[in-house]
Amino acid sequence: MKRLENNGDQRNQGFCVHCGGVYKTDDHVPPKLWLDDPLPENLAIAPSCRKCNKACAENEAYLACLLECVIAGSSDPAKLRRPKVAKLLASNFSLAEKMDSASRTENGQIVWNIEADRVKQGLLKLARCYAAYELNEPRTDEPESVLWMPLQSMTPDQIEEFENPDVPAVWPEVGSRAMSRLVVTGDGYENGWIEVQPGNYRFMALCDGSLRIRMVLREYLACEVEW
């Protein structure tokens, strides 16, 4: 990740990106739990109040564990691919119990019950951070939609539109990191996706009349939040 400064309108900075409250802590995006060591340099950090940061951390841990369990087809920590998540699940009885009770077998296949609101809040946290960090357009209001779907469940046309959206020639705010990526470094908006860590996490920030944040988690879950 290239180090870029936010030189956008300062009135949009310096407060919690989730609720508009007093800035007390830094919110890493994506959370370090979602990435393998060694971590990429210059991870995005957004301002947050302590209450929002704590609530976000709980949803992030749930989503990280759920995703790894679904990919592995098991809630057994020994069968998970990512050591960080396996370690967390092995040491957190509450999360382990949730994962154990979330799956069932139907017609020979494993089916997972999810806490949809926790998934929504976890994705919304990421989107709010990127709206502020990349576009300098903090959005503490409720979005129009929060959507997610496994890539393998999407049709070829859906995948094509998701991966390569038809975006009008609308530039982000002057001074924002997104503008810097476009003008100074020449990346970010030409190919759309910013890869934070291969195989684990990538995102796209779009402002084309609406504001859209797209993310792909573990090259498995396609997500979009739109205002």
Residue 3 located in a structural domain = no
* Residue 167 domain boundaries: 10-226
Output the CA–CA distances (angstroms, integers) from residue 10 to 13, 57, 174, 216, in the order listed.
5, 27, 12, 30
Residue 5 located in a structural domain = no
Number of H helices, E strands in the chain: 6, 9
Residue 2 located in a structural domain = no
Q: Quote the DSSP letter at residue 39.
A: P
Element (H, E) at 133: helix 116-133
Report whether pLDDT(1) > 70: no
Contacts of 71-78 spanning 24+ positions with Cβ under 8 A: 71/218, 71/220, 73/110, 75/99, 75/100, 75/102, 75/103
Residue 213 located in a structural domain = yes
Q: Give the contacts of 178 (CB within 8 A, at least 6 positions apart).
A: 134, 135, 136, 172, 188, 189, 205, 207
Tens digits of residue pLDDT in 91-103: 999 999 999 999 9
pLDDT band of residue 188 (cuts 50, 70, 90) is very low
How many domains would you assign to the chain? 1
Residue 16 located in a structural domain = yes
- Average pLDDT across the chain, whole number: 89
